[in-house]
Structure formats: C-alpha cells, structure tokens
Amino acid sequence: MIVRSSWRIGSIAGVDIAVHPSWLVIFVLFAYAATVSVKAIAADSDFPLSTRNDVILGLIAALVLFACVVAHELAHALVARRLGIPIGNITLFLFGGVASILREPGTPADEIKMAAAGPLASIVLAALFGGIAWLTANSSVQWIPTLCLFLGVANAVLAVFNLLPAFPSDGGRILRATIWALVKSQARATGIASAVSASVAGLLVVAGATMAFHRMWNGIWLVFIALFLLQAAIASGRQARVGLSLERMRVGECMARTLIPIAHDAPLTAFVSAISNDKRTGYPVVADGAFVGLVNPRDTGSVPPMLWPQTPVSAIMTPAARLPALRGEQPASDALALLAKSGARSLPVFEDGDLVGVVSEEIIFAALRERTAAPERAVSAA
C-alpha cells in the first residue's frame, strides 16, 4: 500500500520516512489521549502534574509513540529488504503507519517473517519501556517512569492490535501465510483471509458502537479503524479473485505466439520499420538463427533518433541470459511474479527447448479481461 501526497521528513537505514497530511489529525488526538493518560498515571503514583506539565509530557509521549510506530514499520521494511523484496517508504497517516512493500512475498515463510517483524519490534519496545518504568519507579525524577509506563502499555496495545487476524494487518498476513501453506495458493489464501478480516471488522464496528453508546468515546475511533479494515478486506477480496484467475490461466493461453524475429545486428531504424504496424511488447532477437534476447519498442527511447541508423538492436535488447524462461503449462501468476522480480518488460516461453511465444504484463491482463468478458457476453446473448 502506498500513501500518496506525503511530505518526506528524513531517512533511516536507507528507507525514506514521510508524513501524510492526515497524520496531523491523529497526532492531535493521540497527544490529547496521551495527556489524559500520563496525568492519570502520575496521579495514581502520587505525582500530580500541573496542566502545563501534563500537556508537555503528553506531547512528548505522542511524539515518542509515533517514533515507535516508525520502528514497527521499519522492522517490516528491513526484513523485507533482507528477503530480497523491494521496499518503498514508510508513511505516517491517519490510521498510524504503513511500510510500502513493492512486491508480495514469494513464500508463506517469507510472509510470516515480514509480518511478524513489526509486532515483535513493538513487544521489544513495550518490554524496554516497561523495564525502564520499573527501574526508575522510586526515582526523584518521577516524569520518567510516568512517561515510560505509558509508552510500554501503548506499544503492547499496538502489538496486540496489529496481531488481530484482519488482513492486511500483520495478524491478517500471518493468517494468510498459514492458510497459503495449507492450500498451496496465495490467491485462495488471500480470499479466505479477507473474509475473516471482514468478520473481524464487523465485530469491531459492533464493539465500537457499543462503547460509544455507553459514552466511551474511544469507540468512535474503533469504528473508523474497523471501517478502514473492512474497505481493505473488500479490496483484498477483489485482488484475490483476480489472483485466482491468474493461477488458473496458463502462460500458453495468454502468450503471443506469432513471433517477429529481429536480427541482432539490424539497425534500430529497420527494427522500428519492421514493427510499425504491430502493437506487441516483446520481439525475439536472433543471431545465426539462435535466440539471444528480447527487445521492446520502448527500449529505443534510450537512444536519440539521430543515432538509430548506426545503433544495432543488440545494443538495447535484454540478453537471453538475464531473462527467466517460462513454460506454456505454468500459471500466468508465475509469469507475473517473474516479470516483477526480473524487471523485464517481457519474457520468453519455451517448449522442448524451442521458443514458442513471448509474454508480458500487457498480454496477460488483456487475456484476463477477454476471459472475464466472455461469460458476460454469453449471458447477454442468452
């Protein structure tokens, strides 16, 4: 998930940290809640705070708590990077924080490692602040245990809340990974986890509304979070249906079979002329009849048009050695995963060692739209 229109405020371990304007709303609410909480904790500890001091301590507590949220999301990002999964930035927004993971984990084990990293970081922080609060309980500087007790409890709540089985929260991702390992299908697992998430969101709405009815106004915020989770669950359910269709569709059903081979030493002017009336995204490059790479019309953009006559196709092609090979019987979802992982615009498809087709994201999704539209046309005809 990527939260747009954000302000970059810095970078930690090579990961950009950004703030969305909606974060200002939640910061004010958290600062107020923190002010009330630290004042109550101080009063229970026979350490009454003046109005000015409890506001200052509440603001400090809110700022440190959001630093803890960044640490939670940073744990996700660093584990993802260690697993070879590309990451974007960390954004603080209305509902807390989110680390932009640019590609889904390749295995259930990777997903569990990545999802569990955040709650584990929050549990460690809860223990750390709780330990400091206990060690400084008899200190003459009483604001330290007061602040640390609040932060310890807040991080524990953050960990527990994130472990709720509501996809795409951390607990929901752990649930999906577990189901994925059992059913051997990420798409089916996503659908099941999304259904569970919708149920959890419904229960949270009921709980929040009940709290608000009894004048526990925190319940209103719980309802908002539940509705956010419900919206995410619905979106994930749609994604799961697309993913399941991609798992069921074979590469051989969506690849381009009519190939236009391009000589490796042909100038770019000849290449552009040869494909002028063709709209496909990948063309096999051959040398002495052997497949040596793929070239895409967009690759010509790296060369000024004035240099096209003396620039061979081999200068802009993606060499075969850098292209993962596919087979016609593989799921289309495998092709999409390899396209994302390799960064290639298109991939070759082989059968018995012979090149039989080329596949790309555009071709796959065009075939998927055609497949989806076919039943609708049949219903209309009936």
Length of the chain: 382
Tell me if 165 sits within 8 A of 196, measured CB to CB: yes
CATH of the domain at 294: 3.10.580.10
> pTM here?
0.69
Q: Residues 6 or more apart from 292 whose CB is under 8 A from it?
A: 264, 285, 286, 314, 317, 319, 320
- In whole angstroms, what is the distance from residue 293 CA to residue 287 CA? 9
Nearest to 139 by CA among 375, 199, 147, 367: 147
- For residue 90, the enclosing domain spans 7-163
Nearest to 254 by CA among 359, 174, 98: 359
Q: Which of 248, 272, 291 is the last residue of a domain?
A: 248
The answer to whether the Cα torsion of 203, 205, 211, 216 is positive or negative is: positive
Q: Same domain, yes or no, for 215 and 328?
A: no
Q: Examine residue 145 and state whether it is found in any structural domain, yes or no.
A: yes
Tell me if 260 sits within 8 A of 283, measured CB to CB: yes
Q: Same domain, yes or no, for 151 and 13?
A: yes
Q: Same domain, yes or no, for 237 and 277?
A: no
What SS3 class is residue 348? strand
Give 267's DSSP letter: B
Tokens (6 digits) for 214? 């009894």
Q: What is the structure's pLDDT at 106?
A: 81
Q: Which of 130, 163, 196 is the last residue of a domain?
A: 163
- In whole angstroms, what is the distance from residue 150 CA to residue 254 CA? 56
Q: What is the structure's pLDDT at 373?
A: 67
Nearest to 168 by CA among 228, 110, 247, 87: 228
Q: What is the structure's pLDDT at 44?
A: 73
Number of domains in the chain: 3
Residues of the chain falling short of pLDDT 70: 1-5, 45-51, 94-96, 141, 217-218, 279, 373-382
- In whole angstroms, what is the distance from residue 167 CA to residue 174 CA? 9
Q: What is the structure's pLDDT at 258?
A: 84
Q: Examine residue 41 and state whether it is found in any structural domain, yes or no.
A: yes
How do residues 183-236 score in pLDDT, each as one tens digit? 988 888 888 988 898 898 888 889 888 988 887 766 777 787 788 778 878 877
Tell me if 105 sits within 8 A of 98, measured CB to CB: no
Tell me if 173 sits within 8 A of 111, measured CB to CB: yes
